[in-house]
Amino acid sequence: MIYFRSILLSLIGLLSFSIFAETQDILIKNAKVITSSELGVLDQTDILIQNGKISLIDKNINNNDAIIIEANGRIVTAGLLAPVTNLGLIEIELEAETRDDRTDHFSAGFSISSAFNPSSTLIPYNRASGITSAIVFPSSGRGDIFSGLGSVFKTHGEINTKSVATDIAMVMQMGGNRDSRASNFLELEDAFLKAKQFKKSRGMIERGGFFDTGEYSRRDLEALLGLMEEGKPLIIKTNRASDMLRMIEFSKEYELNIIFHGAKEAWRITDQLVEANIPVIIDPMDNIPSSFDSIGARIDTASLLTESGVSVLIGIADAHNSFLSRQGAGNAVANGMDQYEAIKALTINIADAFGLDDSIGSIEIGKNADVVLWDGDPLEVMTFADVVIIDGKITSEMTRSKRLRDRYLEVIGLK
Amino acid sequence: MIFDSKYSSLIIALVLIHFVVPNAQSQTNEKELINYAYESTYKPELSNKIIIKNANILTGNGDSILDASILMHENQIIAVGKDLDSSDASVIDAEGKWVTPGIIDIHSHMGVYPAPSLRSNSDGNEATSPTTPHVWAEHSVWTQDPQYTLALKGGITSFHVLVGSANLIGGRGVTLKNVRSRTVQGMKFPNAPYSLKMACGENPKRVYGGRNSEPSTRMGNVAGYRNAWIEAQEYQRSLKEYADTPDDEKEISDRPSRDLGLETMIGVLEGEILVQMHCYRGEEMVVMLDVAKEFDYKITTFHHAIEAYKVADILAQNSVCAAMWADWWGFKNEAFDMVWENTAIVDQAEDKTGCAIVHSDSAVDIQRLNQQAAKALAAGQKAGLDIDKGRAIQWITLNPAIALGIGDQVGSIEPGKMADLVIWSHDPFSVYSRAEKVFIDGHLKFDIDDPESFERTDFDLGIIDPEGDRL
């Protein structure tokens, strides 16, 4: 009975919520707006949100129809992006049937877009902490190199969530494993050569001719062509400086648009990264020399890269706590990174690297109204998100975790 | 000739047994000898007189003292307060910065799971049998793990190295000071009690169930602990019986032979070895309290304790601590019901008599245990619980010290305690705060402004560039 009532209440809550959120304009008053754009930081500024977009950023905006959110000088940032995450693909890591981030069947062409679960408990949890978009990638595919293709999802959690951009980039790894990395490089080269042959043979294949796709499927080869022909980014998970240099050479030869991920030794090759204009995704807190590929791991990598002119993207490997990228950014600042650059590393730098910067990643007129109002400095560990808006709708701050908290505060007699 | 030699070796054996086998009196001596053989050899040089002035102090006793001084001499804290006599002391001006006790991590695998994580260095889990109380973590510790230095830079002055959680009864843990030494004995916290690591839940049943052997269920786990304790009690009884036999009635053959594992378990039954138990679920913790009741031993701390908040009142009533993360969850099913307020709820339960600890279990998070405590504090405050920073700092100082049996020596800034201190660049509950100066036993072991202030591990030397150091 109690359960039934609480379900009913939450249903009513959901309905009424979406009804008013659907139709209303929102006006955020008197915020300190960290725009992540060339506008920089705007004090005492209002943001008007209409039809899911940011329609005006100015002082003293008036709008009688809008829901007013009085910021009272609190900070507003663009919604945070999780750059490489399993969010929506994974519920409990050790329970295989709750995971859709791995396959033994496909490699480069493993597209995860159909597996995204908008009702995952991880989604409201990370949303309530400021993550509004997730760039969701698989963890591993068939073979040692390619993991597959990633897609972008908003975290509003609506049951009919579709990717806002599908198969936008590929992820692969390079580095020490059972096989020689030299062999991995040869295999990589062979895969791209095969994709090129496949392209040339398309006409022949359509006429019914036979093409041996080798160890790859047609999907895998199409995906590799997507990198070469459409310039989709290839994310390379790798740590050793010399591996990154080889991959830079490779990317030039095949005209690939690459992003390094992990990249613990990236600080050793900043000149080459700048010259080739390669963004780097890092977890600034992970300074452990966890393998011989990452001996050079250090705590100030974010600062060293940013100061050299490398575009830094901050992301956390753990999907459950994707939002801890904020703490990562805070630690990057503690170790020398510029504060504004750190906010950009959570927002626009990510959107930019994945070609999403015309719609998300900063507070600018015309962009999606994905914004977060914070109760303090967003990089501080004691700060919470007060209001999270996605596509112009105020989202619920409730999470399963908070429900458990509320129940047991009573059970233990603290409420 | 052959006969002779056989015979003589028998005689030698008998003589040896007679010589080695102790009587009731010398049994204690043997026990002392065993402990002596493995005891700490860490003896810091006597430190000079140092006064830290203009400090805001979170004492670890629950108090904050603003604008005060701390006087240290000969490895100890001598005085805390205003207007201290600082004659012949060298002066460190804290310039209004925060000073806390050295940070203590009650759950670390540094040294037994060192970096880099190589198969050859993976020494934390003797996962070959579900009950291995005979192994000691210290015999796996690699003294040159580069992670120690990273932790030092995060203010860690002592840490407890546990064996892993594959086994129901995993083995002895050891408390180390975060000092560099060629030997593990040179790192051991002097006279700290040993711990016994035990584990609930998914890990043991997964490891052994996966091999189609017992335990494969939680009830199999519990049967496993109980059988092990029954055996320990039997052994204890036979030892006592032998000890109680008058000397002239003692037969060599009656003497129970030594058993490493059971010796450790008897240490628990006699209250000398502290049980540190990996346990996630609320109901499992309470079942374990019953097992402890059945065999009359004490569980000191439940580690990880994702659901401690569900039974926080029961933990407080039984004076059992919970060591928790701020926000880890979902990596396995028993970690699914995480709440950020876990630490705060445990702390506040039963009229604020709970014992809450924030632990790392991670070489990344051990470098910022202050931030983990800050997150736990923020969640508690937001939930309306009345906790201040003076109390929250205890989660990473005094409370772990008490739970490790070293609370009389470290964990708070008060006269007579070891001079283990951290001067922070900012409020230690801020993400921007860094440990600027770290003192261990009155010696400056890390100074953020002096790259020569800390000792590199062997691993860090010349490994990227033969001319330089890794850090």
- Residues A87, A91, A96, A102, Cα dihedral to 10°: 0
Do A289 and B146 lie within an 8 Å CB cutoff? yes
Task: Say if residues A146 and A168 touch (Cβ distance below 8 Å).
Answer: no
Task: Say if residues A126 and A151 touch (Cβ distance below 8 Å).
Answer: no
What is the structure's pLDDT at A130? 98
Question: CB under 8 Å to A57, separation ≥6 — which residues?
Answer: A33, A35, A39, A42, A45, A46, A47, A48, A363, A364, A365
Of residues B313, B363, B384, nearest to A412 (C-beta): B313
Q: Where are the alpha helices (DSSP H) in A255-324?
A: 270-276, 301-308
Q: Which residues pair with B98 in a beta bridge?
A: B56
List the structure tokens of A277: 């204009």
What is the structure's pLDDT at B37? 84
Lowest mean pLDDT among A7-21, B316-330, B414-428: A7-21
Cα–Cα distances in angstroms (integers) from residue B183 to residues B17, B338, B442, in the given order: 33, 39, 21
Domain match, A222 and A290 both:
yes
For A95, phi then psi, to 5°, come to -110, 100
Question: CB under 8 Å to B250, separation ≥6 — which residues?
Answer: B23, B24, B242
What is the structure's pLDDT at A12? 43
Domain match, A169 and A217 both:
yes
Do A381 and B378 lie within an 8 Å CB cutoff? yes
Share of chain B above pLDDT 90, in %: 90
Task: Indicate the helix (H) or strand (E) that contains B108.
Answer: strand B103-108
Do A381 and B384 lie within an 8 Å CB cutoff? no
Q: In chain B, which among 95-134 make CB contacts under 8 A with chain A?
A: 115-118
For chain B, the domains span: 2-28, 103-410
CB atoms within 10 A of CB B416: 9
Do B385 and A414 lie within an 8 Å CB cutoff? yes
The amino acid present at B428, given as its one-letter code, is P
Q: Closest residue of A to B370, CA-based?
A: A381
Residue with tokens 């760039």: A135
What is the structure's pLDDT at B471? 79
Task: Say if residues A314 and A260 touch (Cβ distance below 8 Å).
Answer: no
Do A286 and B364 lie within an 8 Å CB cutoff? yes
Share of chain B above pLDDT 70, in %: 92
- pLDDT(B15) > 70: no
What is chain A's alpha carbon radius of gyration, rounded to the nearest angstrom? 22
Do B333 and A409 lie within an 8 Å CB cutoff? no
Cα B262 from Cα A374, distance rounded (Å) = 55
Q: Of A59, A164, A126, whose CA–CA distance to A391 is shortest?
A: A164
Q: What share of chain B is helix, strand, coil (3-state, %, to 5)?
A: 35, 20, 45
Roughly how many angstroms between the first and final C-alpha of chain A, as a whole number? 22
| ipTM metric | 0.94
Do A409 and B367 lie within an 8 Å CB cutoff? no
Residue B186 CA from chain centroid, whole number:
16
The amino acid present at B262, given as its one-letter code, is L
Number of helices and strands in chain B (H, E): 12, 16
Do B341 and A331 lie within an 8 Å CB cutoff? no
What is the structure's pLDDT at B253? 77
- pLDDT(B205) > 60: yes
Domain match, A141 and A232 both:
yes
Do A404 and B337 lie within an 8 Å CB cutoff? yes
B374 touches chain A (CB under 8 A): yes
Domain match, A206 and A65 both:
no
B310 touches chain A (CB under 8 A): yes
pLDDT in tens, A270-306: 999 999 999 999 999 999 999 999 999 999 999 999 9
CA distance B38 to chain A (A): 30
For A5, phi then psi, to 5°, come to -65, -40
Cα B326 from Cα B336, distance rounded (Å) = 14
List the structure tokens of B355: 């014992």
B377 touches chain A (CB under 8 A): yes
Task: Say if residues A264 and A239 touch (Cβ distance below 8 Å).
Answer: yes
Q: Closest residue of A to B110, CA-based?
A: A288
What is the structure's pLDDT at B4? 43
CA distance B373 to chain A (A): 10
Do A382 and B378 lie within an 8 Å CB cutoff? yes
Cα–Cα distances in angstroms (integers) from residue B450 to residues B96, B366, B453, in the given order: 21, 22, 5
- Residues B368, B372, B375, B378, Cα dihedral to 10°: -100
When pLDDT is cut at 50, 70 and 90, the band that residue B252 belongs to is: confident
Residue A109: exposed, middle, or buried by beta-carbon count in 10 A (0-12, 13-18, 19+)? Answer: buried
Domain match, A97 and A57 both:
no
Q: Where are the alpha helices (DSSP H) in B84-217?
A: 147-153, 202-209
List the structure tokens of A304: 């060293």
The amino acid present at A388, given as its one-letter code, is V
CA distance A124 to chain B (A): 14
List the structure tokens of B108: 């670390």
Of residues B333, B338, B434, nearest to A334 (C-beta): B434
Do B116 and A298 lie within an 8 Å CB cutoff? no
What is the structure's pLDDT at B60? 98
What is the structure's pLDDT at A299? 98
Domain match, A290 and A339 both:
yes
CA distance B180 to chain A (A): 18
Contacts of B463 in chain A (CB under 8 A): 295
Q: Of B307, B312, B284, whose CA–CA distance to B225 is shortest?
A: B284
What is the structure's pLDDT at B427? 98
CB atoms within 10 A of CB A358: 12
Q: Closest residue of A to B309, CA-based?
A: A408
Domain stops at, among A313, A337, A360: A360
Do B368 and A285 lie within an 8 Å CB cutoff? yes
Task: Say if residues A189 and A252 touch (Cβ distance below 8 Å).
Answer: no
- The CATH number of the domain holding residue A408 is 2.30.40.10
Query: Which residue segment(s) compose the domain that A75 sits in?
Result: 1-79+362-415
Contacts of A378 in chain B (CB under 8 A): none
- Residues B357, B363, B364, B366, Cα dihedral to 10°: 30
Q: Closest residue of B to A403, CA-based?
A: B339
List the structure tokens of A237: 């998970």
pTM of the model: 0.93
Domain match, A109 and A59 both:
no
Do B115 and A92 lie within an 8 Å CB cutoff? no
Contacts of A128 in chain B (CB under 8 A): none
Task: Say if residues B57 and B42 touch (Cβ distance below 8 Å).
Answer: no
Do B363 and A411 lie within an 8 Å CB cutoff? no
When pLDDT is cut at 50, 70 and 90, the band that residue A178 belongs to is: confident
Chain mean pLDDT for chain B = 93
CA distance B126 to chain A (A): 21
Burial per residue of A254-285, b for 16 or more beta-carbon CB atoms within 10 angstroms, e otherwise? bebbbbbbbbbbbbbbbebbeeeebbbbbbbb
Q: Closest residue of A to B465, CA-based?
A: A296
Domain match, A307 and A380 both:
no
pLDDT in tens, A198-225: 999 999 998 999 999 999 999 999 999 9
Q: Of B115, B116, B107, B53, whose CA–CA distance to B79 is shortest?
A: B53
Q: Where are the alpha helices (DSSP H) in B353-411?
A: 369-382, 389-392, 398-403
B203 touches chain A (CB under 8 A): no
How many structural domains is chain A composed of?
A: 2
Residue with tokens 């049994």: B27
Query: Interior CA angle at A138 toward A141 and A372, to 5°?
Result: 170
List the structure tokens of A262: 């992990």
Task: Say if residues B396 and B151 touch (Cβ distance below 8 Å).
Answer: no
What is the structure's pLDDT at B34? 60
Cα A265 from Cα A213, distance rounded (Å) = 36
What is the structure's pLDDT at A329? 98
Of residues A289, A294, A381, nearest to B374 (C-beta): A381
Do A295 and B116 lie within an 8 Å CB cutoff? yes
Cα A104 from Cα B146, distance rounded (Å) = 36
Do A295 and B313 lie within an 8 Å CB cutoff? no
pLDDT in tens, B26-84: 455 555 556 568 999 999 999 999 999 999 999 999 999 999 999 999 999 999 999 99
Do B339 and A95 lie within an 8 Å CB cutoff? no
Domain match, A288 and A171 both:
yes
Of residues A91, A288, A414, nearest to B345 (C-beta): A414
- pLDDT(A1) > 50: no
Domain match, A170 and A74 both:
no
Best residue in A87, A382, A402, A407 for a mutation probing chain B (most B CBs within 10 Å): A382
Of residues B328, B337, B464, nearest to A295 (C-beta): B464
When pLDDT is cut at 50, 70 and 90, the band that residue A10 belongs to is: very low
User: Region B238-243: what's the mean pLDDT?
Assistant: 94
Residue with tokens 């000397």: B247
What is the structure's pLDDT at A251? 98
B312 touches chain A (CB under 8 A): yes
Of residues B202, B310, B348, nearest to A414 (C-beta): B348
Sign of CA dihedral A330, A333, A334, A335: positive
What is the structure's pLDDT at B350? 98
- pLDDT(A258) > 90: yes
What is chain B's alpha carbon radius of gyration, rounded to the nearest angstrom? 24
CA distance B146 to chain A (A): 8
What is the structure's pLDDT at B7? 42
Chain mean pLDDT for chain A = 94
Task: Say if residues A69 and A120 touch (Cβ distance below 8 Å).
Answer: no
B167 touches chain A (CB under 8 A): no
What is the structure's pLDDT at B156? 98
List the structure tokens of B178: 């975060």
B340 touches chain A (CB under 8 A): yes
Domain match, A217 and A349 both:
yes
Q: What share of chain A is helix, strand, coil (3-state, %, to 5)?
A: 35, 25, 40
User: Region B429-458: what's the mean pLDDT?
Assistant: 97
Task: Say if residues B93 and B53 touch (Cβ distance below 8 Å).
Answer: yes
CB atoms within 10 A of CB B31: 15
- pLDDT(A194) > 90: yes
Cα–Cα distances in angstroms (integers) from residue B236 to residues A45, B20, B292, in the given order: 74, 20, 16
List the structure tokens of A44: 């005492």
Cα B84 from Cα B52, distance rounded (Å) = 10
Of residues A288, A296, A331, nearest to B115 (C-beta): A288
List the structure tokens of B433: 């705060």
What is the structure's pLDDT at A2? 43
Best residue in B165, B432, B463, B470 for a mutation probing chain A (most A CBs within 10 Å): B432
Write down the CATH superfamily of domain B103-410: Metal-dependent hydrolases (3.20.20.140)
B466 touches chain A (CB under 8 A): no
When pLDDT is cut at 50, 70 and 90, the band that residue B194 belongs to is: very high
Do A404 and B433 lie within an 8 Å CB cutoff? no
Cα B189 from Cα B173, distance rounded (Å) = 12
- pLDDT(B301) > 60: yes
Q: Of B396, B399, B310, whose CA–CA distance to B346 is shortest?
A: B310
B387-391 long-range contacts, CB within 8 A, separation 24+: B387/B344, B387/B347, B387/B348, B388/B64, B389/B58, B389/B64, B389/B427, B389/B428, B389/B429, B390/B58, B390/B59, B390/B62, B390/B63, B390/B64, B391/B62, B391/B347
Do B432 and A330 lie within an 8 Å CB cutoff? yes
Q: Of B37, B108, B55, B104, whose CA–CA distance to B409 is shortest?
A: B104
CB atoms within 10 A of CB B240: 12
Task: Say if residues B113 and B122 touch (Cβ distance below 8 Å).
Answer: yes
Do A92 and B333 lie within an 8 Å CB cutoff? yes
Task: Say if residues B355 and B346 touch (Cβ distance below 8 Å).
Answer: yes
